[in-house]
Every structure is written in structure tokens, then in C-alpha cells.
Structure 1
Amino acid sequence: MYAIVEIAGQQFKVSKDLKVYVHRLATEEGSKVTFDKVLLVDDNGTITLGAPAVEGASVEAKVLQHLKGDKVIVFKKKRRKGFKKKNGHRQSLTQIVIEGITLGAVKKAAKKEAAPVADEAEAPKKAPKAKKEETTEE
């Protein structure tokens, strides 16, 4: 069983007991977090796709630690101009472990009522505007 969930603006494919590095979350280490924006759930071959999210589905996770990622060097240079600029960046990350995926009350695709469609079909249609005949003088 796996799910595709949106965490801190990014989408991750998660399953139970998976450790994931996400952008820094505003929670304390050791606390539990629930993510409700589940986009897709695969339960042993049965795929449930949300529009945009699966209703009632959630992913529970536990925050393990807050840390910083590897340093990324940003180097800019313009040749023959003597311009060089070196900058570094370390992303703040949070390591979480997925504790479980809850489907909740997953509803099968409900059929839309036929009444609104029938009303549109039975409603009288507006007649198209009659075009004025153009007369040509010769």
C-alpha cells in the first residue's frame, strides 16, 4: 500500500515505515503530524484517485529530527569582465517516518443524478437569430 501525498508544497510517494526528508515543518521533534492532502492511494492494486484530494484519506507521520541539508555552491562568473560571485546555501529539512496510511470512508465514484441532465435536455432551446438577407444591387 502506498500513497502520493503533498507535504509542504511538494509531492511524495510514501508507504508505511518510510523515512522522508521534507522542507522544514513547524512542529517539535517526536511529535506526530497528519497530512490530509492525499492525492492518490493504492491499496493492493485498487487505485483511488482524488480530485484534487481523496476525501477521508490521511497519512500519519512522526517527526524524527530537524537538520540542514548538504551545502550547495552557487557560483556566477562573467568571462572577460572580472566578475565572480560565490554563494552557498543549506536547506532546512525535517526527517519524518510514515507511521500509517488511513483510507477513511473511501467512496466509490458516485453516479451523478440524471435529473439535472434531463432538465437541460427538456428545456426549450433559444431559436437562433435570423440573418438578414443581403440584397445586392447590380
Structure 2
Amino acid sequence: MFAIVTIAGQQFKVEEGQEIFVHRLEANAGDSVSFDNVHLTSGDAGVSVGTPNVKGFSVGATVIDHVKGDKVVVFKKKRRKGYRVKNGHRQQFTKIKIDSIAG
């Protein structure tokens, strides 16, 4: 069984037991979180498509850890003007494990 769910503003296709990285959540490591914005479910009973959400379904997950992503280098330059700016950025992520898709 899989589901398409919105987590922290992004849509993910999730299955039970899967570990994914999402944008940083306000939860501590080891906490259980639940997501109600389930847009589609597929399983033995068939496919259920919501308008926009499937009623009665939720996805339960456990927060594993908070991590930083790879560094992204942002470099800006204007030719012949002597203008150069170099910045770096590391995105904050939360690693979660999908425990259940219940409906």
C-alpha cells in the first residue's frame, strides 16, 4: 500500500517502513507525528483519490533525526564590473520513518 501525502509543503509518495527526508519539522527525535493531508491511497481495496484529500486517512511517522543537507554554492558575478559574491547554504532536513497508513 502506498499514499501520496503533503508533508511540510511538499508532496511525497510514501509506503510503510520507508525513510524519507523532509523539510525541518518542529518535533524532537523519537516523537510520533501524524499527517492528515492524504491526497491518494492505493492498496488491496483499490485506488482512492481525494478532492483534495481522502477523508479518514492519515499517515503516521516517527522522527529519527535532524540533519543538514549538502552544501549548495551560490556564486553571482557581473562581467567587467569587478562584482563577485560567493555564498553557501545548507538546508535543514528531518529524517522520518513512515510507520502506518491508516484509514
Provide the TM-score with structure 1 as the length reference: 0.73
- Residue 17 of structure 2 aligns to a residue in which SS? coil
Show the counterpart of 1:13.
Answer: 13
Q: Name the SS of the counterpart of 2:56 in structure 1.
A: coil
Give the Å deviation of 1:45.
6.8
Decide which structure has the larger Cα Rg and report it: 1
- What is the SS of the residue equivalent to 2:4? strand
| Structure 1: runs of 5+ lacking an equivalent | 104-138
The structure showing larger relative contact order (alpha-carbon pairs under 8 Å, at least 6 residues apart) is 2
Cα deviation digits, residues 68-123 of structure 1 (max 9, x gap): 111100001111111111011111100000001012xxxxxxxxxxxxxxxxxxxx
Q: Which moved more, 1:1-10 or 1:75-84?
A: 75-84
- Greater fraction of residues in strand: 2
**Distance of 2:18 and 2:33 partners within structure 1:** 14
Aligned length: 103
Which residue is 1:70 aligned to? 70
Matches within 5 A, 1:27-106: 27-44=27-44, 46-103=46-103
Cα distance between partner residues in 2 of 1:99 and 1:45: 20
Q: CA RMSD in A?
A: 0.9
Q: Taking every aligned residue pair, what percent have the same amino acid on both sides?
A: 53
Q: Which one-letter code corresponds to 2:25 in the other structure?
A: L
CA drift of 1:5 comes to: 0.2
- Larger helix proportion of the pair: 1
SS state at 2:93 partner: strand
The CA deviation at 1:44 is: 3.3
Q: Secondary structure at the match of 2:30?
A: coil
